[in-house]
Amino acid sequence: MSRVFLAIAVACMTANSAFAADSLCNVHEQTIFSCTLDKNIVSVCASEDLSPTRGYVQYRFGPENVKIFSLPASTNPSSRASIRERSLMFAGGGGGYIRFLNGRFQYIVYSAVGKDWGTKDGVAVERDGKLIRNFRCHNVPESKLGEEFFISAGLAVDPEEFSIP
């Protein structure tokens, strides 16, 4: 009986080993941000060699172990032109966000803390610059969003200001 249980446990671990826990990032990638949203996960993944001149950053959305949506679609370093970042400063806190551009749509992954409102983490979806959906994280996210990551990645600073919903 214990051998059967061990075989099932090993099979389950092997099936899920391509992804980090509660993340859509592969084990050979950096998880920059990840959290659960209802039955889905939102993750921002980056190559291990990410620098201002190399590597990729990608937004991913879908149920556990299944990417149903990725932006940019390519992990080619030139696709970073459709990604913007910005650090945020608040009284008694701060945070940051990454904006992924996709035609009329924008997907903004954010993580911040403020003295008067606590923590806010999630992803906002905008169409033509107007908020159409905001997904809040259901768990404490894994997050490296902030000035240190933005400088090391060399992403373009977002010229627009984003107000966390």
Sequence letter at residue 25:
C
Name which residue leads in pLDDT, 6 or 20.
Answer: 20
pLDDT digits (tens, 9 = 90+) for 6-15: 333 333 333 3
CA atoms of 108 and 97, how far apart (whole Å): 7
pLDDT digits (tens, 9 = 90+) for 128-165: 999 999 999 999 999 999 999 999 999 999 998 899 99
Phi/psi of residue 71, nearest 5 degrees = -135, 140
Residue recorded with tokens 């259901």: 138
CA atoms of 55 and 71, how far apart (whole Å): 14
Query: If you ran DSSP here, which 8-state letter would residue 141 be given?
Result: P
Count of residues in the chain: 165
Q: Which tokens go with 153?
A: 């990645």
Q: What confidence score (pLDDT) does residue 91 get?
A: 78
Assign residue 154 a region: left if phi > 0, alpha if psi is -120 to 50, beta otherwise?
A: left
Q: Tell whether the torsion through CA atoms of 9, 11, 12 and 14 is positive or negative.
A: positive
Phi/psi of residue 64, nearest 5 degrees = -50, 130
3-state class (DSSP) for residue 116: coil
